[in-house]
Chains A and B, each alone.
Chain A
């Protein structure tokens, strides 16, 4: 009798406890949601709206116009720039997160003195350092892996990231971006002799390699589920770094690679027997990522980019990218910058 009553009352408390746990879980889920979406940003998907003050700028964001959500250029020094300038001695450097493995973008050339970092991104970083610190070599490069780009900025390990980083709404919620400095899109890379013609039915039954957690994988997976890509396309090969896909392709373990056209071109530059197949099937923009509240730095970088577009961009393109992306830079040139209204 007593036991049954106790059980009944326990059951009552159990219900309350379950509700409490569910509430806590829901709260945790809502709070953690932005974290889980750091890496797998999917372009073209409407961003979930989060109506908090801090994220007001990300409201109404769509990836198609995410690159327009940046501050208007200005040359005034603010707290962020002053802090960088206040560094003394050997530390008086702009700390820039870069890639060391993307040929022609940011890579160590082992055949230069001290295995120098070279590439399109590296040129831009030098240009920004020249503007802020007056010395184009006042840059401290930090190699950061793809999935560390945002944490490195948030933790203050780097002042900015110039590392083939696509501007997306998800990322805009965690960091600030400059205006775009390059236009690209997902593209298919395959051997010249391959029957694959592009992002279409010719991928049926083929093995496609992507980087783990990349935009490319998310897009392919979604398109395959939606039937825009043949269901027999094998996406099971994912690797830590997009460059590892070229290894798998050369060893014949996969038939094609999907990654940003710019990076696919950097792979093609290392192997004359592979080429880009078909047109880019998405449109993406690379931007310089900075800390979310570093408004003065964002404005300053945007001013540098305006100058750079007129003087420097073309030379850097010719130096590093024209060999694989074509003499005509029209497809890669970013659009005329647009900024947040009233900024």
Chain B
């Protein structure tokens, strides 16, 4: 064993103040105060100075708790704090939920709807462009106006989306991309029209290039925007619907404390009612009931708006987009005139007819899902109408395709964009039905989500006021008892 030379030296200053104790090398660096405090508590002034304010307060509390007035004061303070805390947490939790519910109704759902609108306008413009192109020099004013209207709507929708996108977000980048692509697309369409009017087949090539731009770049971007906005909607729902457990727990705790305090008063004084405490209990109970009932109503409203509104809307949007894409492909197969093919499993198909079949399958599936989700006659009727139009469309399309494949181009064209008995009628019917169904579901959503949001209205303020009342009541009640000691 080797000790450093210091250990054998005289003890340092700390130990010097304790003359009775011989220098102990092992205990030296640790705490000479410990043995000292044990041996001579009175002479040591250091410990009180080192104690924390909390410890000091606890000490004073313990001292106060030895007398009845002191205890009453403590009880009063605790009750008031509990009730106020309950009120504060309730106000906080319900106001965040109310804000989220308001966002669902006024911000995220309209934005999601707007993004779906951008997608729809773009797809519809593409469909209308192919339609007017097919009509050639005889293009009618209606489909041309439709195309222009769609482009305007898409542009307006992009402005709204841009205004609501956070700087630097993915949504902003997507909107910027779409803003760049839209004029490019429109330029290609105008060139296609010009060449087509002159009778040059390169017009069709331009239209196919524009369509490629739409299908490969613009619609996926619009889809991404829609997904982003829907995620925001889901997040707002997620913020609006969870139970405010902290507030409920605090409310129950406050009620229990109030009950206990009244029981204690009764035991000590045999007085059944302490007005202040009764008032506090009543106020707290009212706030708690309001909280639970209000939130339950809001939650059921919001859940209903999701179940009956948003889910139907999502499916209906999907159906509408599938119908638009199918129509676009039907038109484009006649524009491309066999220039685009796909090979699947060794079989070669016309690319646009192949896509058409896929789109129609999506449309049928979405429509039957929408019919399943529709919960009243007003919601079911337009979906059923769209379903029957889809069936007719499918039949007429088969006839038109047979004409096209047999080389009867004009007959095929008549069966697709003609006035009577053409697939155009069926598509218009499907689109109209879906538009009606979307309008109906959107109204249902607004109603339910509005009810849900209104159930939370005034709850934060009311809970805060009631809590103040309750705290005042408990303080007054305890004060009444306390005054008996003066």
B202 in the interface (beta carbon within 8 A) = yes
Interface residue from B195, B197, B205, B413 paired with A115 (Cβ < 8 Å): B413
Q: Which of A91-107 contact B (CB under 8 A)?
A: 95, 100-103, 107
Chain A residues in 8 Å Cβ range of B410: 114-115
* Interface 0/1 of B201-212, CB less than 8 Å to A: 110111011000
B244 in the interface (beta carbon within 8 A) = no
Rounded to whole Å, the gap between the CB of A116 and the closest CB of chain B is: 9
Stretch at the interface among A16-24, A72-80, A145-153: A145-153
Q: Is the CB of B348 within 8 A of A148?
A: yes
A240 in the interface (beta carbon within 8 A) = yes
B337 in the interface (beta carbon within 8 A) = yes
Interface residue from B206, B340, B348, B407 paired with A240 (Cβ < 8 Å): B340
Contact (A270, B339) CB under 8 Å given A101-B205, A102-B201, A246-B205: no
Chain B residues in 8 Å Cβ range of A311: none
Chain B residues in 8 Å Cβ range of A237: none
Rounded to whole Å, the gap between the CB of A259 and the closest CB of chain B is: 13
Q: How many residues of B contact A (CB 8 A)?
A: 29
A89 in the interface (beta carbon within 8 A) = no
Q: Is the CB of B348 within 8 A of A101?
A: no
Q: Is the CB of B409 within 8 A of A240?
A: no
* Interface 0/1 of A303-318, CB less than 8 Å to B: 0000000000000000
B341 in the interface (beta carbon within 8 A) = yes
A247 in the interface (beta carbon within 8 A) = yes
B338 in the interface (beta carbon within 8 A) = yes
Rounded to whole Å, the gap between the CB of A310 and the closest CB of chain B is: 30
Q: Which residue of A lies closest to B209 (CB)?
A: A247
Q: Is the CB of B341 within 8 A of A270?
A: no
Please report the C-alpha to C-alpha distance between residue A46 and residue B204 in the assembled complex, in whole angstroms: 38
Contact (A243, B202) CB under 8 Å given A110-B137, A110-B196: yes
Rounded to whole Å, the gap between the CB of A323 and the closest CB of chain B is: 13
Please report the C-alpha to C-alpha distance between residue A109 and residue B409 in the assembled complex, in whole angstroms: 12
Chain A residues touching B, majority SS: mixed
Chain B residues in 8 Å Cβ range of A271: 202
Q: Is the CB of A107 within 8 A of B338?
A: no
Stretch at the interface among A135-143, A172-180, A193-201, A285-293: A135-143
Interface residue from B137, B337, B339, B405 paired with A111 (Cβ < 8 Å): B137
Q: Is the CB of B337 within 8 A of A108?
A: yes
Q: Which of B323-361 contact A (CB under 8 A)?
A: 337-341, 348, 350
Chain A residues in 8 Å Cβ range of B341: 145, 147-148, 240
Please report the C-alpha to C-alpha distance between residue A241 and residue B207 in the assembled complex, in whole angstroms: 13
Please report the C-alpha to C-alpha distance between residue A100 and residue B405 in the assembled complex, in whole angstroms: 13
Contact (A243, B201) CB under 8 Å given A101-B337, A110-B136, A111-B137: yes
Q: Is the CB of B348 within 8 A of A147?
A: yes
Q: Is the CB of B201 within 8 A of A108?
A: yes
A214 in the interface (beta carbon within 8 A) = no
Rounded to whole Å, the gap between the CB of A227 and the closest CB of chain B is: 33
Rounded to whole Å, the gap between the CB of B263 and the closest CB of chain A is: 81
Chain A residues in 8 Å Cβ range of B197: 110-111
Interface residue from B136, B137, B202, B405 paired with A247 (Cβ < 8 Å): B202
Please report the C-alpha to C-alpha distance between residue A270 and residue B191 in the assembled complex, in whole angstroms: 13
Q: Which of A233-291 contact B (CB under 8 A)?
A: 240-241, 243-244, 246-247, 250, 267, 270-271
Chain B residues in 8 Å Cβ range of A267: 202
Q: Is the CB of B136 within 8 A of A141?
A: no
Q: Is the CB of B338 within 8 A of A246?
A: no
The residues of A with any CB-CB pair to B shorter than 8 Å are: 95, 100-103, 107-111, 114-115, 117, 140-145, 147-148, 151, 240-241, 243-244, 246-247, 250, 267, 270-271
The residues of B with any CB-CB pair to A shorter than 8 Å are: 136-137, 191, 195-197, 199-202, 204-206, 208-209, 337-341, 348, 350, 405-410, 413
11 residue pairs of the A-B complex, CB under 8 angstroms, read A100-B201, A100-B409, A108-B201, A111-B137, A111-B197, A115-B136, A115-B413, A141-B409, A142-B406, A240-B341, A244-B339
The 10 closest A-B CB pairs, nearest first, are A100-B337, A110-B136, A143-B338, A114-B410, A270-B200, A241-B339, A141-B407, A243-B205, A101-B201, A142-B407
